Amino acid sequence: MKAASQPRAAVVAPQIPSHNENLNVMAGSDPAVLADIYEPKTNITIWQRSLSESLQCLVDEFVASRQQPYTSLICTPSDARSQLLKELGSSRFSALVDDVNELIDMFCYLFDLNQVGLRLTVLREAMCPKFHVDHVPCRLVTTYGGIGTQWLPNQAVNRAKLGIGSAGLSDQESGLYGNESDIRQMAAADVALLKGEGWQGNQNAGLVHRSPTIPPGESRLLLTLDFSN
């Protein structure tokens, strides 16, 4: 993996202090915080942002009108916009497409990628309801509408209880974490980079996370970006 160049925006102090060695997260309101994913002890960075009122309304309209549950593409920064507009079948959602395209550009810039794997999904139930790790180098996650992804700080996780180690028990019953207060949750519109097991030197340290339970009658609009060869 090639070392990242500094993002174009100026760096500001993150809202979670970097001097606490027990924390594996860096978060802040400047997109430059995403570059902190290259810090060895960091396995999640969160750009804390909010959507404009007009874009949020457009997201709600998109979710309500969407019949196909997901869109999956391999795209480059130069062709992502045209591919997405074609897939969505309407220029009505061009502002949403523009925002997604900006995130693709940032993701490719940060990791020196030529293309990404994109998945834009309308969820009406939890996609991955149990805590788990991803076997990828790094994944970008943002929830445009609905409740955000949940995750656990490294110091709160008993990794022996992941997967088959849970013996079929729920996360709460298995001893994967101690208290409900250990669970962290991203806000809607937050953009996060989740370091996975496939990141060089990050074996047995991938971010532990899950999809939240979606209340009846509600939904999420989730975007994920992955490395693509």
Query: Which own/partner pairs from 68-72 qualify as long-range (CB within 8 Å, at least 24 positions apart)?
Result: 69/121, 69/122, 69/123, 70/119, 70/120, 70/121, 70/122, 71/118, 71/119, 71/120, 71/121, 72/117, 72/118, 72/119
Which residues make Cβ contacts (< 8 Å) with residue 82, sequence separation at least 6?
none
Where does the pLDDT of residue 126 fall: very low under 50, low under 70, confident under 90, or very high at 90 and above?
A: low
Residue 113 placed within a domain: no
pLDDT for residue 18 is more than 70: no
Residue 112 placed within a domain: no
Residue 204 placed within a domain: yes
Q: What is the pLDDT of residues 137-186, one digit of tens each?
A: 999 999 999 999 999 999 999 999 999 999 999 998 999 999 999 999 99
Residue 167 placed within a domain: yes
pLDDT for residue 19 is more than 50: no
Parent domain of 193: 25-60+119-227
- CATH number of the domain that residue 147 is part of: 2.60.120
Q: What is the pLDDT of residues 64-108, one digit of tens each?
A: 988 778 899 999 999 999 999 999 888 899 999 999 999 999 999
Specify the pLDDT at position 17.
38
- Using DSSP, state whether 188 is helix, strand or coil: coil
Specify the pLDDT at position 9.
33
Q: What is the pLDDT of residues 180-214, one digit of tens each?
A: 999 999 999 999 999 999 999 999 999 999 999 88
The domain total for the chain is 1
